[in-house]
């Protein structure tokens, strides 16, 4: 139990008189110190799950433990252990970033001696704007300020709901680096994102939610093994009239000086394919490979 920061059993959430299910009797465990990805299409139940954890919504039934604390018995302590970065940018345009941070600190009862707001702003490259009106900040700066707000009370668990939505590549990379730094310092992170490459780069474990149910939950590496498809593009120096018999069944397209093969890694290895061509005296010019990524897995799971 000590290693579990989130332990959810039979969690159900119904909305409206007809009782439409947002969460349908889900079980989920998240270990301390992980970056945990929560993926799913719009309306899958991700936000309902986050809102219940953070106290913004009441569950219909089920048991929720956060840091070993029962949500039904001590929701206030749980909220003190969680920092939430919502999708929507919600800051007062007439306050400076430092004022916003200080107000947030006061709400969590952070004493002046423990206040690290300037340090947090500096880590997020916002210290130069700490005394500027928030309305003058760029969209990317506002997004970073939302992250800073969530960190004022040094939470054990940080929930990032689409943290890089609408930001440029440079800022996204900076936020990724900061997320990794926080995680190294011991902060457990729950990340929701529609940018699947982000989850593939950052997450240790991933759960996929669809129609209120957890349809997959495993380590990133195990999920990637669900598809072992590989695509191989081979270009040759000379015209190719025929191909080795051994690999004919894997060819999906063929040109004068190029062939494209698609196969399962459990059927044949890249080395065997290359060896088949080299053994027949083919002059290889260039080889390009493409393997399954998290997006392929995500689409496969939703289809199933």
> How much is the pLDDT for 302?
82
> How much is the pLDDT for 186?
94
> How much is the pLDDT for 112?
85
> How much is the pLDDT for 2?
61
pTM greater than the 0.85 cutoff: no
Both tokens assigned to 56: 């913004």
> How much is the pLDDT for 50?
93
Structural domains in the chain, sorted by start: 32-52+79-217 (3.40.50.300), 229-303 (3.30.70)
Mean pLDDT by 10 residues, the chain (304 residues): 86 83 94 94 90 91 94 93 91 93 92 90 91 90 92 95 82 89 95 88 93 91 79 89 87 90 84 87 86 77 80
């Amino acid at each position: 139990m000590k290693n579990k920061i989130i332990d959810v059993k039979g969690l159900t959430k119904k909305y409206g008189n007809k009782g439409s299910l947002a969460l349908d009797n889900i079980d989920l465990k998240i270990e301390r110190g992980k970056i945990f990805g929560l993926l799913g299409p719009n309306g899958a139940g991700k936000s309902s799950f986050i809102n219940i954890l953070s106290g913004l919504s009441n569950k219909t039934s089920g048991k929720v433990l956060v840091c070993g604390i029962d949500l039904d018995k001590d929701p206030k302590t749980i909220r003190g252990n969680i920092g939430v970065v919502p999708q929507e940018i919600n800051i007062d345009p007439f306050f400076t970033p430092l004022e916003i941070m200080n107000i947030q600190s006061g709400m969590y009862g952070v004493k002046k001696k423990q206040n690290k707001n300037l340090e947090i702003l500096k880590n997020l490259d916002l210290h130069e704007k700490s005394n500027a009106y928030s309305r003058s900040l760029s969209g990317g700066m506002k997004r970073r300020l939302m992250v800073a707000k969530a960190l004022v009370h040094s939470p054990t668990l940080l929930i990032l709901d689409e943290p890089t939505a609408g930001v440029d590549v440079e800022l996204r990379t900076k936020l990724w680096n900061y997320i990794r730094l926080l995680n190294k310092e011991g902060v457990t992170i729950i990340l929701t994102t529609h940018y699947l490459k982000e989850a593939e780069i950052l997450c240790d474990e991933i759960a996929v939610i669809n129609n209120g149910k957890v349809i997959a939950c495993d380590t990133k590496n195990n999920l990637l093994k669900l598809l072992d498809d590989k695509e191989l593009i081979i270009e040759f120096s000379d015209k190719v009239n025929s191909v080795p018999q051994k690999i004919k069944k894997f060819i999906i397209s063929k040109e004068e000086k190029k062939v494209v093969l698609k196969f399962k890694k459990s059927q044949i290895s890249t080395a065997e394919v290359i060896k088949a061509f080299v053994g027949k005296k083919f002059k290889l010019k260039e080889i390009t490979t493409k393997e399954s990524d998290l997006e392929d897995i995500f689409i496969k799971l939703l289809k199933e």
